[in-house]
Chain A
Amino acid sequence: MRKIAAIAGIMWGIGAAMTGAAASEGMPYEKVTDMLYQVMSANREVYTRVVVQRLTVDAKVLTASEHFEDDAALPLPSQMFRFVAEEVLDNTEDFSYSLLSLHPINKKNGPATDLERQGLEHVANAPGENFYGEEELGGERYFSAVYPDYAVVEACVQCHNNHKDSPRKDLSVGEVMGGVVIRIPLD
């Protein structure tokens, strides 16, 4: 948990600096969310490759598990991503982000707003493109960006295809599995 808090702290710092910059220097929101996404994406890739892949597949000294606490295992990369996202929300409302899918294992990770659905459909159907828009939630306006989330390794695909709650069992490596949604309040 200390590691999660440290990563969350770094991301919060970067986020606060970026959103501050957006307000004072007029940096486009799109540019800010792009930069945030780069940090998130890099963190996730490094955790997947340097921690999970190295210890579970290469060295075979640990396992990664959905129930990592009970199994004394590593959290799955997607869980790690969500833990950090929640940790950020514990510290600031300056921005928020989520890992979502049109066919999630856990229903709460499905689209909850019209823009989320529209954005997830867009990144699934237009490879390599992001989606940007504005929406009103809870009486506040947000700039929302959706980035494609690819199945980068076989483990992602196998886990999703084999899970009893997965609505899709035919995912393949390289395919868009979902998207990262980043929001910044406009006011």
Chain B
Amino acid sequence: MVQRLMQAVLVVSLLGAVYMIVTMTVAGDRRLLPGGQTTDAHHQLEMACETCHGKSVFAGAEAAEKALNKNCRQCHEDELKAARDSHSRKRFRNPRMAQYWDLLDARRCTSCHIEHRPEITRAGAVTVAMDFCVACHSEGEQDIRTTRASHAGLDFTTCASAGCHNFHDNQALFEDFLLAHAGRPEPVRPAVHALSARYLARPVSADKALGREDAVAPPHALAEPGALDHWVESGHAPAGINCTDCHVPRPARDAPDTEALTHWIDVPQMGVCMECHKPQARTFVLGRHGMRQHPRIAKPRNTDSESGRAVPAWMVRWLRDPTVPAAMTVGEARLPMHADADPSSSLGCSTCHRAHALDMARAAVNACASCHDDAHTRSYFDSPHHALWLREQAGEAPPGSGVSCASCHMPKLEYRGQVRTNHNQNDNLRPNEKMIRSVCLDCHSLGFSLDALADAALIRQNFAGRPRVHVPSIDWAIARSLSNPEPPEN
């Protein structure tokens, strides 16, 4: 009996080993292999291991880590550049920084962000201890406790957790910025988000405007309830975008109408939207809603078994790499979702924007709240921000004075004179001080913004109330400037 049991264990172990070797080196679903859970964002692409780990399974440890770090940068480098990274890799590559390499090697992302370690992973996918600043800022001229009187008795666990410093992005936290905003009064009410107001007031040319009679579509599409009305009221008809511009593939669009309509597609794919809305698409694939369409996600490995020559068909299915689904679905979300939200609902342009209707209000609030079901989202509807939003929607307050979910999480950005919506809704979330410049300061002082964003309970209440936390950084900056004033310029 014992012998048979041992034989069974041996067979199972051998099969397991074969499975591991084959899936590691050839193809197959590697999510069954041992390894910790990935972080909340990366779990969307964990079936495409090469996206992070590179293609060489037999690389040595050093080469593998180099490949891993290179792949981190491929996706995240632009974000770090935009953040004016305080601890950039290139700065630490200088050999004069060698003394810090053994303390906390800032040349490698993996020094602080190790994947598959959920038990030690904090917000921002950080896996080092909260007092990581102690490694470099506790000795010599970098000892902040001796160079800044205000920091003398501080614990290193508070550097990056109290709303004062971040490792990468300190654009709204550096001393001169604090001083420049110190003492500025709260903006006059009703405050208006300047870029939102500009966006809403942007002129629309009537030169190419189309009317109901201009619509080119097959009878069944024209008969769809509301579709024609929605199109006329949308931005598409005034801009001269006809039905065939979206529902007919590009080569056939320029053909005469009767010929073009033979190529009609009832439900065009998202790529059609992306043909014209490129800036929105570029930012969409950077956030968690659209990252499955990021161009850097590795394709499935090719296998000879695909041809069916060497391996039976049942094994072909087993040996095939799982393909990363085209879009994230509600059912795969790790954040709390509404129980009645369709788990198979996938995220594309028309998930938030209706196919024909220009319902920006829905896209800015109700679309978010139809899926997300957390305290912050639920509290929004009782918050001062929502009250302002309702007033703007009712025409009782100026354009740009309302605050929707999108106002903060998908802020308007200016690029070369054009105002556009950032469709990466994660861009300013972590650390949340990234929100200060692009969002908060239009309506609030810097001091209030710092305090509010450091108050976790207030965030859960969606800012209904006053901050019960005070971040002293502005006070300390003022005190230091008074004790060591700059002489006036000659």
Contacts and interface: CB of A to CB of B under 8 A. Distances in A.
Interface of A: 66-67, 69-70, 85-87, 89-90, 93, 96, 98, 107-108, 110, 112-113, 116, 137-138, 140, 142, 158, 161-165, 169, 181, 183, 185
A87 B487 CA distance: 34
Say whether chain A's binding surface is mostly helix, strand, loop, or mixed: mixed
B90 A140 contact: no
Interface stretch (B97-105, B362-370, B456-464): B97-105
A158 B84 CA distance: 27
A56 to B, nearest CB: 14
A24 to B, nearest CB: 23
B90 A98 contact: no
B141 to A, nearest CB: 5
Interface in B472-490: 480-481, 484-487, 489-490
A96 B91 CA distance: 10
B490 A98 contact: no
Nearest to A91: B90
B269 interface: no
Given A67-B176, A107-B142, A107-B147, A162 B486 contact: yes
A89 to B, nearest CB: 4
22 contacts: A66-B176, A70-B177, A85-B94, A86-B88, A86-B90, A86-B91, A89-B91, A89-B93, A96-B93, A96-B94, A96-B96, A98-B94, A107-B147, A138-B101, A142-B95, A158-B489, A162-B487, A162-B489, A163-B486, A164-B480, A164-B484, A181-B96
Interface residues of B, number: 27
A112 to B, nearest CB: 5
- In the complex, the 4 A-B pairs of residues with the closest C-beta atoms, listed nearest first: A138-B98, A137-B98, A90-B90, A137-B95
Contacts of B101: 138
B172 to A, nearest CB: 11
A134 to B, nearest CB: 12
Contact of A89 (B90, B142, B487, B490): B90
Given A66-B176, A89-B93, A138-B98, 4 more contacts: A86-B91, A112-B99, A142-B95, A164-B485
Contacts of B99: 112-113
Contacts of B98: 137-138
